[in-house]
Amino acid sequence: MALEDKQKWDKKYSSTEDIKSNPIDLVKYYYKLAHRGLALDIACGTGRHSIFLAQNDFEVDALDISSTALENIQNCANIYPREVDFDNHKLTTNCYDLVVCTYFLDRDIIEDIYNSLAPNGVLIYETFLSHENNQFQNGKFLLQKGELKELFRDLDIIFYEEWLDSKDSIINHKASLVGVKR
């Protein structure tokens, strides 16, 4: 396990000010496209999307590197939290009716994410774009313009947008994608 990553995220999630409870709008709007069945929440953090999906008739595999974050959803009905390091974790192939990944980017697992979708499975993905005004500057974790759409070019794209998010005086450029595996 990437001990340094685990320690960083455990520390972040030990502070209650970093716990977000509401799902993002993209998830709230597009989850309805998926067949109610098995969902995967990648890098789920404290489980805001896992909780929302479980309340909307999904069985949810919730994966994160932080055991501290996963404590928030440890005893939630229909949620199966697991501490994983995506550097050495393989997702189940052709399994999930819905995959949600927000604010996490690891280009090495993109093919694995695609392959984890069941036929007609829905992917909801939103993360940060590289831009001079973003609060985050590490290019390894930032998309380039048009990259998210290219990474998931084999999906039928239902929705795609690159946009400026300026909530709470923090400016971030983001990319949002919803696609279906045919």
Say what the pLDDT of residue 7 is.
85
Q: How many domains does the chain contain in total?
A: 1
Q: Rounded distance, CA 133 to CA 102, Å?
A: 20
Domain that holds residue 51: 3-13+22-180
What whole-number percentage of the chain has pLDDT above 90? 77
Amino acid at 180: V
Q: Rounded distance, CA 46 to CA 44, Å?
A: 6
Say what the pLDDT of residue 91 is.
97
The average pLDDT across 14-40 equals 88
Q: Rounded distance, CA 89 to CA 175, Å?
A: 25
Could you give the residue ranges of the DSSP H alpha helices within 15-109?
Answer: 25-30, 48-54, 67-70
The average pLDDT across 100-120 equals 97
Q: Rounded distance, CA 118 to CA 58, Å?
A: 14
What CATH number should be reported for the domain holding residue 58? 3.40.50.150
Say what the pLDDT of residue 159 is.
98
Residue 137's pLDDT band, with cuts at 50, 70 and 90, is: low
Better pLDDT: 178 or 15: 178
What whole-number percentage of the chain has pLDDT above 70? 91
Model confidence at 136: pLDDT above 70: no
Q: Rounded distance, CA 81 to CA 136, Å?
A: 27
Residue 5's pLDDT band, with cuts at 50, 70 and 90, is: confident
Residues shown for the chain: 182
What pTM was computed for the model? 0.90
